[in-house]
Amino acid sequence: MIKEIQRVSSAVQSRLPRIVDRNGITLAGTEVPPGTIVGMSLHQVHHDPKIFPSPEVFNPERWLGDNAKRLENYYVPYSRVGRQCLAVS
């Protein structure tokens, strides 16, 4: 239930900025040069219907069974390692 609560109502309301490293990256077929500031919105990720079907529905059961492992790839309530919320560690 906790994961679904955090998915629906993220504690982080701003974008999570990162700087593209010296190798650059390709995002959705677009080349992004080194030094570019990119960011993502946790709300957009956690409410993407391609990842979380019926994202507006509070459904703790979505985190059960085989589906849970797939969803973990997109579950980022506090950012990721290196810039994580201090309260997590």
pLDDT in tens, 46-77: 999 999 999 999 999 999 998 898 999 888 87
Q: Both ends of the chain: CA-CA distance in Å?
A: 21
Instruction: Characterise 3 by phi-psi region: left (phi > 0), alpha (psi -120 to 50), beta (else).
Output: alpha
Residue 79's pLDDT band (boundaries 50, 70, 90)? low
Q: How far is CA 87 from CA 52, 55, 59, 80, in A?
A: 26, 27, 26, 13
Q: 16-19 and 25-27: which strand pairing? A: unpaired
Question: 37 a known binding residue?
Answer: no
Q: pLDDT by residue (tens digit) across 10-60? A: 776 667 788 999 999 998 899 999 999 988 888 888 999 999 999 999 999
In the three-class reduction of DSSP (H, G, I as helix; E, B as strand; rest coil), residue 21 is classed as: coil
Report DSSP state, residue 9: S
- The tokens describing 87, both together, are 């309260």
